[in-house]
Amino acid sequence: MIAIGCDHAAVEMKNTVRDYLTEKGFEMKDLGTNGEPCDYPDMAEKLCAEITSGNCEKGILICGTGIGMSIAANKIKGIRAALCADSFSTKYTRLHNDANVMCMGARTLGQGLACELAEIFLTTEFEGGRHQRRIDLISAIEAKN
Ligand code: RB5
């Protein structure tokens, strides 16, 4: 199951990406917002809880720029959120960082690109190997702070 959530700046893009991924066969859990005002830190926390609890495997967060969502999501233990705006970074944040949340900006990306990036994110597997050691180092920073 893939969680998707947005603030009020990104409802249209969230719905477009959700429908695109559903068409592609992904099971989507839509956490809103559907238009009502929503502070992005609240949505980031709600969506990340779906991942840390094991309900959802990965998440997609969309706000105006994607930046607020990524800052908030990365405060949560076990979350590796990546701001995605190009295909190379989106692919490599899965291959090397094992990112479990992708963040995008509805005011910075076109909807076609957002759908394509989401599909790349969800279909690229973590490479493991030497990259796992670096993920463990990130977890150690988390544990210390
Ligand atoms: C909301 O206006 C806007 O600040 C938010 O969507 C986002 O861009 C924050 O990073």
pLDDT tens for 78-120 read: 999 999 999 999 999 999 999 999 999 999 999 999 999 999 9
pLDDT tens for 17-72 read: 999 999 999 999 999 999 999 999 999 999 999 999 999 999 999 999 999 999 99
Q: What is the largest CA-CA distance in the chain?
A: 44
**Ligand 1 atom 4 nearest Cα:** 64
* CATH for 22: 3.40.1400.10
Report how many domains make up the chain: 1
**pLDDT of 92:** 98
DSSP string, 60-113: EEEESSSHHHHHHHTTSTT--EEE--SHHHHHHHHHTT--SEEEEETTTS-HHH
Residue 92 tokens, joined: 């490599």
pTM above 0.95, yes or no: yes
**Ligand 1 site, residue 67, Cβ cutoff 6 A:** yes
* Domain boundaries, position 86: 2-144
**Ligand 1 site, residue 68, Cβ cutoff 6 A:** yes
**pLDDT of 119:** 98
**pLDDT of 28:** 99
**Ligand 1 site, residue 64, Cβ cutoff 6 A:** yes
Cα 95 to averaged position of ligand 1 atoms, centre (Å):
28
Ligand 1 pocket test, pick from 40, 61, 74 with the greatest ligand atom count within 8 Å of Cβ, gives: 40
